[in-house]
Amino acid sequence: MMLDVDLIDYVIIHELCHTIYFDHQKEFKNLLNRITKNSAGLNKKLKEMSFVLKIEY
Ligand SMILES: [Zn+2]
């Protein structure tokens, strides 16, 4: 796997945020931005990896 620790953290935090919000609306992204330092950058990176992971983000 080529996932770095930041990205793994981001995936875990993302999933935890889904226990609060079940979609990707503004409130979800606000929460994610509060928790992660570089949520926009990590989201971009995750999108690039998502074809490998077979997940939809
Ligand atoms: Zn999600």
The pLDDT, as a whole number, for residue 25 is 93
pTM more than 0.85: no
Chain centroid, CA 18 distance in Å? 10
Cα 23 to ligand 1 centroid, rounded to whole Å:
7
Range of the domain at 36: 5-53
Which residues of the chain are modeled with pLDDT < 70? Answer: 1-3, 51-57
Q: Cα(40)–Cα(57) distance, rounded to whole angstroms? A: 12
Give me ligand 1 centre to Cα 21, in Å: 9
Distance 41 CA to ligand 1 centre (A): 15
Number of domains comprising the chain: 1
Q: Given this model, what pLDDT does residue 46 score?
A: 81
Given a contact cutoff of 8 angstroms between Cβ atoms, the answer to whether 9 and 41 are in contact is no
**How confident is the model at residue 55, as a pLDDT?**
59
